[in-house]
Structure 1
Amino acid sequence: MKKLLFLLLTSIVFFACKTENKKVVTASKTQIEASYKQDSVEIKKLFNTALTEGKSYEWLRDLTQNIGSRLSGSEGAEKAVVWGEKLMKEVGLDSVWLQPIMVPHWVRGEKEKAHYEFEGKKIIVPICALGGSIATPANGITAEVIEVKNIEEAKNLGDKANGKIVFFNGAFDNTLINTFRAYGGCVAQRFAGAATVGKFGAKGVIVRSMTNGIDDYPHTGSMGYLDIPKEEYIPAAAISSRAAENLSKHLQEKPNLQFYFKQSCKNLPDAPSHNVVGEIKGSEFPDKIMVIGGHLDSWDLGDGAHDDGTGIVQSLEVAYLLKKNNIQPKNTIRIVFFMNEENGLRGATEYARLAKENGELHIGALESDAGGHTPRGFSIDANDKNLQLVKNWKKLLAPYGLHDIAAGGSGADIGPLKDDHVTLVGYRPDSQRYFDYHHAATDTFDKVNKRELELGSASMASIVYLMDKYLYNDETLKH
């Protein structure tokens, strides 16, 4: 009888637990569905607001047309700092301040010149000095040209480079759908070309512009002399992609042609500048910080519209959209306009240093530095738990064209914040047109589409909303 009673009680407890567990599962599923519905509504509001009441396009117009290029150390860069601080205050951020930094100060000087003779004709070559390069002698450089396709070929030149102008003609791999991968495959020749062949006695370097298109615009960009002694420094310049194609063909017919180029750029002492920082204090966890940013500086040939004016205005519009929709973040949302991404990364380095020195707890960061074209998704640099968490949001984001959510790099300016607990996110718009304008005189306001820009702002605001609500960070348990 006791045994029978025990079995009966056990059965009752078992079925009671099973029923209770079913209720818990059902409740959990109901909660998830309710949360998903709420998130869908909020994200829709963010997009609606961006597309009907957005400010980013007019902010960008003001930045590019009333200030223009913003190379570190320049008057334009300092005007942009004043502009950024004023605009953040107008948006109504809880606090706004400037972080002092020292930045490289390189100036281009007079417009560069280049030409060579072929079949009795003087061929004018569109050319621009690379950022950080030294000048040519006052009368320029004239020498025979030796062509290579990449750094590895250049390393094997040895004495063949002595007295020559080395022509780096590595083109983008146009079979790659993601043009940033194509850029990454050949940008080393621009940055390290002069350092590679300077030690061989080369007189100068010319580099094919970093673009997948064929046009007449030279694209500048940063170069470095790495660890070679100053006596081995040689001038470095970029020529347009069409000029590179023509020069390569002409060299096949006339290998000993003489190429001439002249540039008067110089490196001045470091100059004072600032990061511009503003934040919305978190309602529940004000000591936990999420950064959204882009870089305020730009190269000097265009107006820095896509690189990175779009990233700057989209980052601030995230804060604007949250405030406009009365979304009070749990964590502190910090907007940062980083200075000197293009030729030194001083702003990002100093921001991360101060964050560590001040014991700040960053749980996430989002960067926009890939242009203002149609949104495609986000690349995630995070631990496995948060990587999977962000991937799970695809159902919410895909209706807005944000299908590409995967592991990958985030951005140069938020990269120094990386550790095992911070979730870094890179905003990824369509890349097909970006390198038509990147670092060239064509990077101007008229190349930015208003609707694409606003869709990007809303996309960024949406993932920030989700990160603020759900992001897991086990480091916060210690605080």
Structure 2
Amino acid sequence: MRFKRTIFLMGALFVSLAGSAQISSDSVFIRKIFDEALTNSHSYKNLEYLSNSIGGRLSGSPEAEKAVQWSKKLMESYGFDKVYLQEVMVPHWVRGAKEKANIQSGKTKIEVPICALGGSVSTGTKPLTASIIEVKTLDELKNLGRSKVQGKIVFFNRPMDPRQVLTFIAYSGAGDQRRQGAVEAAKLGAVGVVVRSLNLFQDDFPHTGSLRYDEAVTKIPAAAISTNGADKLSKMLKTDPNLKFSYEMHCETLPDVKSYNVIGELRGSEKPTEIIAVGGHLDSWDLADGSHDDGTGCMQSIEVLRLFKSLNYQPKRTIRAVMFMNEENGTRGGRKYAELAKNNKENHLAAIESDAGGFTPRGFGMEADPAKIKAIQKWKPLLASYGLHDIGPGHSGTDIEPLREVDKNAALIGFLPDSQRYFLYHHAANDTFDKVNKRELELGEASMAALVYLLDKYGLDGSK
């Protein structure tokens, strides 16, 4: 009896020691990933070129095409096993001359900062000037009825909820007025729409973003106004409800343009048909160079593969870096990627997207079945010392979400950096390279590479 007990205890000790050795081995390699990223990363200098030499990369623009060709050559220069393009037709909307707006109260005219919402129609050959009515919600607008809205400009002035610690929840809660406001206002006879910028800060930068039109409803011009401008307009309306708002926009939609997703791969040595994708969107809005949205995510994703090459790590599974095109005003790149994955019968173990800025890493949000989420959460002890504590259910990414419809077993994962500064720059003219912190950017790419390493080594079904 004692002999059997001794054998049992020795076996348990052996398993414990083997497990400890395994954890120690993983810890050592993850440390190597961070050391390489923090001492020899290429992402910051690559982002500088993308941001300052190519600039804003709105889908269909010459700059977007330059970014495609440059990022393809960049991945080829790193010697990835395969680098290729996926053709996709994308929208081509152009902003035109800089927008102008003013508030007119009596003989007083006060200029305020605006920008056209992405996809908006123009105001025509001359400024649009009309009375303006303020609402907070779509329901409030509907309750006013046609008699109070017809012939006017509707001013949506609901701010992002500052009580939300998770700023993306605040963003989501305020986004309907930007996306749907023009359609709902036009149904009641409005001639234009002005929307408070989706920004938690008070400043003079208007924030653009996509709107949705309905082909069965008249398309009316839609603009974003800065948070300071919105407060000024609201205050003046309280003292002069009959004031007028005047704005001028010269945007137009041109025929679709051929563009591409850009993909680089490291071929798996044992399970090459099982794919782990990591990516960001190469396009950006045109007001700035799109450094945080989403130049950082693209350069981090390329760097994940470069880090593995530099460390001579041979993945078991195929690791793929994807630069998606047209996330901002159409999501056609993500949908094309999913369509081709289905046609090619590809098997994705996981897809990770970085599209929340290049800020300090906090963790990962996951859209997957509970067993897969639990499997990833088991790695918390290995990741916590790098500040990655927030690992659990959450939003993954706009570009990778279409994979859910074609590969239901894939774990969709969103990289989560600290979000408190993101909406200061999101879709605005101050989203520029100088706002990116080099060390934060590098910590993010190392965090993503560490998770990819664990996914590659262990999978999500308990087998290697």
- Among 166, 171, 175, the alignment partner of 2:163 is 175
Partner residue, 1:269:
255
C-alpha contact (below 8 Å) 1:59/1:313 kept by paired residues? yes
Distance 2:7 2:229 in 1: 75
Distance 1:55 1:308 in 2: 17
Distance 1:241 1:153 in 2: 20
Matching of residue 56 in structure 1 with residue 47 in structure 2: no
Long gaps (5+) in structure 1 = 1-11
C-alpha contact (below 8 Å) 2:105/2:244 kept by paired residues? no
Partner residue, 2:371:
385
Partner residue, 1:103:
90
Corresponding letter in the other structure for 1:216? D
Aligned pairs for 1:249-328 (under 5 A) are: 249-328=235-314
Distance 2:83 2:17 in 1: 41
Matching of residue 94 in structure 1 with residue 81 in structure 2: yes
- Among 393, 406, 413, the alignment partner of 2:392 is 406
Matching of residue 469 in structure 1 with residue 463 in structure 2: no
- The Cα offsets for residues 250-280 of structure 1, whole Å up to 9 and x where unpaired, read as 1111111010011110111110000001100
Distance 1:104 1:228 in 2: 16
Aligned pairs for 1:192-207 (under 5 A) are: 192-207=180-195
Corresponding letter in the other structure for 1:433? R
- The Cα offsets for residues 144-181 of structure 1, whole Å up to 9 and x where unpaired, read as 11111122222323212111100010101111111111
Partner residue, 1:357:
343
Secondary structure of the residue aligned to 2:68 is helix
Partner residue, 1:46:
33
Q: Percent identity?
A: 55
Distance 1:326 1:406 in 2: 30
Matching of residue 186 in structure 1 with residue 174 in structure 2: yes
- The Cα offsets for residues 202-248 of structure 1, whole Å up to 9 and x where unpaired, read as 000000001000000111000011x3515x11110001010001111
Long gaps (5+) in structure 2 = none
| Deviation of the 1:16 alpha carbon | 6.3
Distance 2:335 2:388 in 1: 30
Partner residue, 1:31:
18
Distance 1:401 1:76 in 2: 36
Q: Which contiguous aligned blocks of 4+ residues in structure 1 show a shift greater than 4 angstroms?
A: 15-21
- Normalising by structure 2, we get a TM-score of 0.97
- The Cα offsets for residues 325-366 of structure 1, whole Å up to 9 and x where unpaired, read as 111111000110000000000000000000000111111111
- Among 435, 450, 459, the alignment partner of 1:447 is 435
- The Cα offsets for residues 264-307 of structure 1, whole Å up to 9 and x where unpaired, read as 10111110000001100001100100100000000000000000
C-alpha contact (below 8 Å) 1:422/1:473 kept by paired residues? no
Aligned pairs for 1:366-377 (under 5 A) are: 366-377=352-363
Distance 2:461 2:411 in 1: 9
Secondary structure of the residue aligned to 2:402 is helix
Distance 1:25 1:153 in 2: 66
Secondary structure of the residue aligned to 1:117 is strand
| Deviation of the 1:443 alpha carbon | 0.4
- The Cα offsets for residues 383-430 of structure 1, whole Å up to 9 and x where unpaired, read as 111101111111111111111111111001111112541111110111
Distance 1:243 1:355 in 2: 45
Matching of residue 215 in structure 1 with residue 203 in structure 2: yes
Distance 1:286 1:425 in 2: 21
Distance 1:178 1:217 in 2: 22
Corresponding letter in the other structure for 1:259? F
Structure number with larger C-alpha Rg: 1
Distance 1:188 1:459 in 2: 33
Corresponding letter in the other structure for 1:186? A
Corresponding letter in the other structure for 1:466? L
Distance 1:92 1:152 in 2: 55
Partner residue, 1:6:
none
Partner residue, 1:144:
131
Matching of residue 424 in structure 1 with residue 412 in structure 2: yes
Matching of residue 240 in structure 1 with residue 226 in structure 2: yes
C-alpha contact (below 8 Å) 2:104/2:246 kept by paired residues? no
C-alpha contact (below 8 Å) 1:421/1:473 kept by paired residues? no
Partner residue, 2:54:
67
